[in-house]
Amino acid sequence: MKTEIQKEVKEELKLWENLKSHVKKNMVGKTLTAPIESEINSMVDERKNYIKNLQ
C-alpha cells in the first residue's frame, strides 16, 4: 500500500514538474506567471515532502 501511494505521488510530482517547465518556457513575461509559478512550486514541494515522509 505504502509503495503504491509513493508511486502515485511520484507520478503526480512528475506532472507538476512538467507543468512548471511548460510555464517557465511559454509564459515568460505574462502577468500571472509569478503567482502560477509560486503555486506550482508549492505543489512540487508538498509532493517531495510527502514522498520523503513516506520513506
pLDDT tens-digit series, residues 20-53: 898 888 887 777 778 888 999 999 999 999 989 9
> CA triplet 18, 19, 24: central angle to 5 degrees?
100
In angstroms, the Cα distances linking 24 to 2, 5, 14, 18, 20 are 33, 29, 15, 10, 6
Global confidence as pTM: 0.73
Helix (DSSP H) and strand (DSSP E) numbers for the chain: 2, 0
The CA distance from 40 to 2, in Å, is 25
pLDDT at 23: 84
pLDDT at 37: 86
